[in-house]
Amino acid sequence: MNIGLTGGIATGKSTVSALLVAKGALLIDADAIAREVMLPGHPVLAAVIQHFGQAVMNSDGTLHRKKLGEIVFADPAQRQALNDITHPAIREEMRLRMVAYEREQPDKLVLADIPLLYESGLESLYKEIMVVYVPREVQLQRLMLRDGLTEEQAGLRLSAQMDIEQKRSMADIVIDNSGTLAETERQIELFWQRKGLA
Ligand SMILES: CC(C)(COP(=O)(O)OP(=O)(O)OC[C@H]1O[C@@H](n2cnc3c(N)ncnc32)[C@H](O)[C@@H]1O)[C@@H](O)C(=O)NCCC(=O)NCCS
Ligand SMILES: Nc1ncnc2c1ncn2[C@@H]1O[C@H](COP(=O)(O)OP(=O)(O)OP(=O)(O)O)[C@@H](O)[C@H]1O
């Protein structure tokens, strides 16, 4: 059994995936894989430097994430270029991990946490899609607080993704994370019971 987990930036995907992992789900995390392909020595990082130049590098050869973020969240064409360079490798690694999990642990729930699941049209890869939802205002506030961004910077990041209301309307399962953590936990507990997961 697999589920695609998505939502908007800072709506609480990591929070929800941690709750599901604590119950026994296996996690494949697209953001974590996106970081792996940006490590020194990886061909994806080399292609990123080729396109964006040395300005997005730190002097120790690692990626200057903040600088690259500033470029791509302000410019849709550059964001598309970054997606074209990184996404095929991320998708292939996710596919390999999914195949391995389903072969080795077929009774477990496998959870694929993918921020851009709908934007990339990946719905058909998963039996069901769970969306972690908070209203846009809460999303903006939590993003500013967590990442120390101004309202303008946070707004740009939100504009780089499909609107959260639209994602909510497309979901098979909605987890409303706008309340307390305890309220979110209760929804996860109900979901787990409804699915008859052990
Ligand atoms: C631009 C980068 C360097 C910024 O790094 P930074 O450490 O500031 O942010 P981080 O990687 O933690 O991402 C935070 C969130 O931003 C959003 N986000 C990241 N990349 C994108 C993108 N290309 N388009 C829209 N939203 C994005 C996601 O919601 C993600 O959860 C980094 O996000 C990146 O390499 N992005 C390209 C790969 C990608 O698309 N990753 C996201 C899904 S796989
Ligand atoms: N129910 C909640 N109440 C208050 N704060 C919360 C709640 N859930 C999550 N947060 C906080 O909101 C922020 C965003 O949550 P989280 O990091 O889980 O989101 P995310 O969707 O995984 O983000 P990203 O898209 O950047 O990967 C974090 O600082 C987290 O501590």
- Among 175, 165, 69, 77, CA closest to 118: 165
In contact, 27 and 21? CB cutoff 8 Å: yes
CA distance 88 to 151: 32
In contact, 161 and 118? CB cutoff 8 Å: no
Mean pLDDT by 10 residues, the chain (198 residues): 97 98 97 98 97 97 96 97 98 97 95 98 96 98 97 96 98 98 98 88
Confirm whether residue 14 is marked as ligand binding: yes
> Which ligand neighbours the alpha carbon of 185 most closely?
2
Look at the block and give the residue holding tokens 């789900």: 25
CA distance 59 to 62: 7
- Centre of ligand 1 from the C-alpha of residue 31, in Å: 7
Task: Provide the 3-class DSSP secondary structure of residue 195.
Answer: coil
What pLDDT is recorded for position 197?
83
What pLDDT is recorded for position 116?
97
What pLDDT is recorded for position 198?
66
What pLDDT is recorded for position 158?
97
Ligand 2 pocket: which residues have CB below 6 Å?
Answer: 7, 9-15, 31, 115, 142, 146, 177, 180-181, 184
Domain ranges of the chain: 1-25+109-193, 38-103
CATH topology of domain 1-25+109-193: Rossmann fold (3.40.50)
Length of the chain: 198
What pLDDT is recorded for position 196?
87
- Centre of ligand 2 from the C-alpha of residue 103, in Å: 32
Crossing angle of helices 13-23 and 181-194, rounded to 10°: 50
